[in-house]
Structure 1
């Protein structure tokens, strides 16, 4: 087995995600393309480009697997769309709008026009609605500074190479450098932690070694401190402009009597790329509230999926404000946003928040690590080892992947020192009233209703705050993915008795914020990728 490789994949819609190759680089570009398609949940034809440092980090077509480097960046180019454009006749450029999309002035309006949205009509993507954000990069890219700043640094770098002379930048140059770096940081987040600031400072002195600080043990300690202050000052500017991700933490937005700086601080803590976005252009809270009310009627109509999807996309910022600012109870939130409690919408909401596909990424990573996890389960000794061997013995043949995934998930809970019954509770031959009573006493979890006369479960669903919020799911693995997605969509904390299991799902399987994992999670991660 080769050395594990991590790549940043920039998708065709402008978002990006991490790709893990646990066995090292594939044998061919076709194998790499298949892995990208699998982990990123892509469909159709596409080609890959790589970021070439020899040409100023421009993207060039990938022609050899040797051009792929660990922690490198690849870009997905949708070949199907490109081919379509290339084969269009010149005359056809004037016929891009189909007859079904043509509307008269009288049809412009929320209900009359949107109710006529056809299946072929594109809806706005989340990036168009709330701004472009990406996951924090594996390697921070230092931007190009102003012309005069780059000229000064070029001369200073040459002097550093020749005689090791470092540069003490003048206030103007230092301010220009910090300003550009902060502008690059906020493309990812407005609240960066200490580790991320250190990565930025390290990238800076790596690109411009003349800025290395001789009095610092890391060579960049002063730059990291300056960046923290600069970013803090920039958040003050954003707060004055009413940017919601920082205004939600201002003192005047605290509850009456709880106006302390530490109370109710709301920040992205689980790699949420879009945590509390601004409202879409030309929209206000009132217009989005009106759209939300119309959604309550739209979800009750048949064959209305396209319209519901469009309105859920457009009201995303309103939901995030409610979840982050008000922390509503699940029952009241479900009554207001019933369309969210659907498999396709949970997938969409999770991707809006993190830019990472939920269901496809979780299941593919679970399958990818299943063989290694089984070996780890079999090696474990003691009481936990005996429980794990019992679970491994229940794993069916490969023609039943859903049942096998369920066993792997339960084994993961046991391996992390937690009880799988806190996650998945089975009710066999229980009457309906007894099941309702048990559900009402459950804070969070998954239920499986079975009959002893049948091998297939009668129902699989998700419980939040004593309410069944999702029913009739196909299998337990899907239910776990949807429960994880709902925790992000509703900004819920992981349950204490399952915190390690969900940490593994987040930081190992989904690749979201792998910094500062617990000792248990780090140990498992090292064993999976060794």
Structure 2
């Protein structure tokens, strides 16, 4: 997944490079022009790979996501001892009431091993689920996200979403959706009961349509009588919502809200649709997954404008939305 993320500083992983200015420049105006040019041309280069960026924070983020696992292991531990600790986590998670303090500490100390398995070994998601069952819990998704990008996932997501909520709904209403009855029905339903929670759901479910994308391969809504295997067949990454009435545009009660990756339900019993979006974004980062190409702009909006990662560099379509939201 290509995304901009917040860093772990390391003076050994990056360095600036800029064109040299000599002291022999005769005219101050020439010097000022040169300084301006050099400031604009400055780039930071990763010493491990060929990645470069004019933004130092972007480079440090790149290092943390791509090379942090190559750093030294925790003091006094090697890969074998970390793998034994991983096994202890798996055993603990099989208990009815796991020791969350032990799991928290062990997940933190085994972080470098986990990143190596994700980045270098590229283990399938199904195998990661078996090896790291704790990673597929809301608590550990949040903590892993903080380890990765130094941000509180829930706080960032909901503050960003709520901060743009009213304006986003206004923008939805400013367009015509004659050919998209799903969008029209959501806005009409919102008019009947305009609570903050329903606005959140309308914003997240309507965002793909507004960004000129189709969420049919991502958002799967069905009734309890439908066969789950049939519903999630072909889903690369998405959300499964089970409700009593699929005709309800903005459901308030759920039989099930789950996350699906590679046609497998990996997390169940999430509280609602906004929480599902939140945890799915966390898993995308934790497992280094690519965004679904059919929803790349929607995911970019959530990443850049809601969570606040990489907002300095975004595609033209997302930048246009950003400008409209800030007016």
TM-score, normalisation: structure 2:
0.80
- Structure 2 distance, partners of 1:300, 1:451, is 32
- Structure 1 distance, partners of 2:11, 2:145, is 17
Instruction: Note the 1:4-403 alignment, pairs <5 A.
Output: 135=6, 186-187=9-10, 190=13, 213=31, 216=34, 218-220=36-38, 224=42, 228=44, 231=45, 235=47, 246=48, 271=61, 274-275=64-65, 276-277=67-68, 278=71, 279-301=73-95, 302-381=97-176, 383=178, 388-395=183-190, 397-399=193-195, 401-403=196-198
User: Which runs of 5 or more structure 2 residues have no equivalent in the other structure?
Assistant: 20-27, 52-57
For residue 265 of structure 2, the aligned residue among 439, 455, 468 is 468
Structure of higher CA gyration radius: 1
For residue 259 of structure 2, give the secondary structure of its aligned residue in structure 1.
Answer: strand
Q: CA deviation at 1:383?
A: 4.0
For residue 425 of structure 1, give the secondary structure of its aligned residue in structure 2.
Answer: strand
Paired residue for 1:427?
A: 222
Paired residue for 2:25?
A: none
Q: CA deviation at 1:391?
A: 2.0
Paired residue for 1:407?
A: 202
- Specify whether residues 428 and 327 from structure 1 end up closer, same or farther in structure 2 by C-alpha distance, changes over 3 A only: same
- Specify whether residues 220 and 389 from structure 1 end up closer, same or farther in structure 2 by C-alpha distance, changes over 3 A only: same
**For 1:375-423, what per-residue CA distance to the aligned partner results, in whole angstroms no more than 9, with x for missing partners?**
1111113646875443222225344x33331111111111101123333
- Structure 2 distance, partners of 1:191, 1:406, is 41
Correspondence 1:496 to 2:293: yes
Paired residue for 1:522?
A: 319
**For 1:199-252, what per-residue CA distance to the aligned partner results, in whole angstroms no more than 9, with x for missing partners?**
x99xxxxxxxx9x8456383316972xx65xx55xx2xxxxxxxxxx3xx59xx
- Structure 1 distance, partners of 2:164, 2:176, is 20
Paired residue for 1:31?
A: none
Contact residue 189 and residue 273 of structure 1 kept, 8 A? no
Contact residue 213 and residue 220 of structure 1 kept, 8 A? no
- Structure 1 distance, partners of 2:39, 2:210, is 39
- Specify whether residues 186 and 296 from structure 1 end up closer, same or farther in structure 2 by C-alpha distance, changes over 3 A only: closer
What number of residue pairs does the alignment pair up?
299
For residue 302 of structure 2, the aligned residue among 480, 487, 505 is 505
- Structure 2 distance, partners of 1:273, 1:361, is 22
Correspondence 1:483 to 2:280: yes
**For 1:451-472, what per-residue CA distance to the aligned partner results, in whole angstroms no more than 9, with x for missing partners?**
2499622100000011100000
- Structure 2 distance, partners of 1:222, 1:455, is 50
Contact residue 270 and residue 512 of structure 1 kept, 8 A? no
For residue 232 of structure 2, give the secondary structure of its aligned residue in structure 1.
Answer: helix
Contact residue 305 and residue 322 of structure 2 kept, 8 A? yes
Q: Which has the higher contact order (CA 8 A, sep 6+)?
A: 2
Cα-Cα RMSD: 3.3
Q: CA deviation at 1:293?
A: 1.2
Contact residue 270 and residue 513 of structure 1 kept, 8 A? no
User: Which runs of 5 or more structure 1 residues have no equivalent in the other structure?
Assistant: 1-133, 137-184, 202-209, 236-245, 251-260, 262-267
**For 1:419-443, what per-residue CA distance to the aligned partner results, in whole angstroms no more than 9, with x for missing partners?**
2333321012434xx2123324211
- Specify whether residues 447 and 284 from structure 1 end up closer, same or farther in structure 2 by C-alpha distance, changes over 3 A only: same
TM-score, normalisation: structure 1:
0.51
For residue 451 of structure 1, the aligned residue among 231, 235, 244 is 244
For residue 220 of structure 1, give the secondary structure of its aligned residue in structure 2.
Answer: helix
